Amino acid sequence: MNIIVTGGAGFISSNFIYHMLGKYPDYRIVCVDCLTYAGNFSTLAPIMEKESPKYHENFRFCRINICDRAAIYQLFEEEHPDIVVNFAAESHVDRSIKNPEVFLQTNIFGTQVMMDACRKYGITRYHQVSTDEVYGDLPLDRPDLFFTEETPIHTSSPYSASKASADLLVLAYYRTYDLPVTISRCSNNYGPYHFPEKLIPLVIVNALNDKPLPVYGKGQNVRDWLYVEDHCKAIDLIIHTGKDGEVYNIGGHNEMKNIDIVRIICKVIGKPESLITFVTDRKGHDLRYAIDPAKIHNELGWLPETKFEEGIKKTIQWYLDNREWWESIISGDYQNYYKKYENRR
Ligand code: NAD
Ligand code: DAU
């Protein structure tokens, strides 16, 4: 099996690559990533270094922008992939509010380029990694309501609008061209290699540095947190056993208020809650996300395995053990890793 995985220098996709190489050592995994600010080559470098215990000869990294049609077609000609898993995206809601354009380019146009390549060269599965944010939000006072796959698309931010647009395009390619697609819509992930602009890694890193912990509004917004490894296992299952044309919701049944998350992190790290700083709310801030994962459970047998108390401790421990990884992000040095790697070759 030859799988092209896009966005592999980012958070979830890098975890997915490590998961796949560990579980299927015979698979070839080709990572496509253009290394935006969110791409950290040092996350993947150990897989390519022969002296590293993580070295894997069936892995290839290609610095390519998914919007670059010619480069993507060239790669398909070289690799003849069986499966494409499209993670590559601009992923941060706050950045989409400040500058929507690149979100439309990568998240919509990039998806189209990847699917056109799949149509042209033929694949057995195109999988689109999407988000629960395409459903908009739920009210805080209706804990009985959940997002199902039938919930109407109703987006709030330029980020979620771009991801929803991509989903519609994916379903259009299924209906119009019979492209064998699947889509997963997952809730908030947390775990290793999470870029410290998102709530959980930002709070961990700031707490470790005794810096203020910014909480938007009153911290009452609710997210449904899932340990990243559980998301990777769900995608693994979908690409192997999912049904063409289907959407699968993935969620942890683990709803928490932002303020409670921040308090838990303070407690586990042993830092005072006085570091918590309430700041101006996000524009159009979604109130509550809550996934009903019944379909993927009933049809594919997936269930989240990691309890939040365990997952958050593992995550904090990872940030303690991998200071170099996140300190190089704060210093900006991470953006030089790829150049250093290329010069060594
Ligand atoms: P991330 O921001 O950590 O990583 C994105 C990666 O994509 C980076 O390595 C970046 O360099 C790469 N990239 C961006 N634009 C590219 C382009 N034009 N060409 C090639 N590579 C490009 O993202 P993440 O949080 O790991 O999210 C991955 C995917 O999962 C996204 O599609 C996101 O919408 C979806 N998702 C994320 C979450 C979450 O909680 N983080 C939850 C559900 C779904
Ligand atoms: O639900 C899935 C989505 O989860 C993914 O599609 C997105 O790619 C991913 O970024 C994430 O979006 P959120 O906006 O929910 O994640 P973020 O970590 O940015 O924020 C989580 C919550 O915490 C949200 O209610 C905003 C709040 N927040 C965030 C930051 C960065 C704060 O209170 N303070 C902060 O500094």
**Pocket lining: 263 vs ligand 2, CB cutoff 6 Å:** no
Mean pLDDT score of the chain: 97
- Strand 246-250 and strand 181-186: the pairing is parallel
Total length of the chain: 345
Ligand 2 contact via 90 beta carbon (within 6 Å) = no
Q: Which of 67, 84, 64, 116 is nearest to 13 (CA)?
A: 84
**Which of 17, 36, 69 for mutating ligand 1's site (highest number of atoms within 8 Å of CB)?**
36
User: What is the model's pTM?
Assistant: 0.98
What pLDDT is attached to residue 343? 82
Question: Domain segments of the chain: what residues?
Answer: 2-191+227-251+292-306+335-344
Report the separation in Å between the CA atom of 281 and the middle of ligand 1, taken as the mean of its atom positions: 24
Cα–Cα distance for residue pair 151/289, rounded to 1 Å: 12
pLDDT in tens, 255-313: 999 999 999 999 999 999 999 999 999 999 999 999 999 999 999 999 999 999 999 99
Structure tokens at 134: 């395409």
In the residue annotation, 159 being an active-site residue is answered as yes
Q: Would you give the DSSP letter of residue 219? A: S
Give the list of residues 6+ apart from residue 37 with CB closer than 8 angstroms, or none: 335
Which is the catalytic residue, given 126, 135, 159, 337?
159
Per-residue confidence (pLDDT) for residue 191, from 0 to 100: 98
The answer for 78, left when phi > 0, alpha when psi is -120 to 50, beta otherwise, is alpha
pLDDT at 275: 98
Give every residue of the chain whose pLDDT is below 70, as ranges: none
Compute the distance from residue 33 Cα to the ligand 1 centre, in Å.
10
Residue 291 is given by DSSP the state B
Predicted ipTM? Answer: 0.99
Predicted local confidence at residue 344, as pLDDT: 76
pLDDT at 342: 86
Cβ count near 307 (within 10 Å): 12
Cα–Cα distances (Å) from 179 to 55, 74, 294, in that order, read 34, 20, 26
| CATH homologous superfamily, domain 2-191+227-251+292-306+335-344 | NAD(P)-binding Rossmann-like Domain (3.40.50.720)
